[in-house]
Amino acid sequence: MHAGESGLAEDLRAALGPILAHHSGRWLRFIMGILGNEADAEDVIQEAVRRVLARNQPLASEENVRMYLGRAIGNAALEFYNHRKRERLRQTPIRDGILPPDPSPGPHDRMEERERSIERDWLLRLLHKGLACLPSKQHEALRLTILESRGLSIRDIGMTNGIPYSTLRHRSKQGLRRLRKYLEHSLAGKAAEEGQKQQVRRRGPEMRGQN
């Protein structure tokens, strides 16, 4: 390591101490909301600090260090959660991961379930399309505050990810408003299309009767 890099690492370590002393409790609660236990949460914070020190990135101020560390902690927590989830799925016996079939589903029940499944799949695709149409910062805000919130407040999520509370709240509201308009427009279009199909079905027998 060059002398300049060594000095930079020492400055970074000096900045991390007060930041951790002031914010570690809040970060610990945030990670425990995701992982469910304190020991794993402490491991995540240590891993995030290790990554920040290893990257040794020049940062202009203590506030920049806090935001950078907050993002590293959020990323490490999600990585840990996803890894643990994959491990649980890998270790689950196949027979335990399959729901027992309905002992006596009739043809009508199967038809209704298929219709509900098609409707759910369509709504999920529509939701994903709506999210994909959002500006990137609004999409990120909804991902953090709704899809991956783990029951945490917007204030805690913003602090962990280095985004001011008012900014994250505003982006979330704007994203929800855009998403709602997209969904309403798409659902109205689908309803109109279904109405036209029903009219065609009703006219079919009438036209055959006239012939």
Shared-domain flag, residues 84 and 121:
no
In this structure, are 154 and 175 located in the same domain?
yes
Quick one: 81 and 115 in the same domain? no
- What residues make up the domain containing 33? 1-97
Helices (H), the chain: 3-35, 38-55, 62-91, 107-133, 136-142, 154-161, 165-210
Name the average pLDDT for the chain.
79
> Does 59 share its domain with 123?
no
How many angstroms separate the Cα of 202 from the Cα of each of 193, 195, 210?
A: 14, 11, 13
CATH number of the domain that 153 lies in?
1.10.10.10
Cα within 13 Å of Cα(211), Cβ side:
6
Domain boundary among 65, 97, 129: 97
Domain finish residue from 67, 97, 127:
97
Residue 3 pLDDT > 50: no
How many domains does one find in the chain? 2
Give the pTM.
Answer: 0.44
Examine residue 152 and state whether it is found in any structural domain, yes or no: yes
Does residue 93 surpass a pLDDT of 80? Answer: no
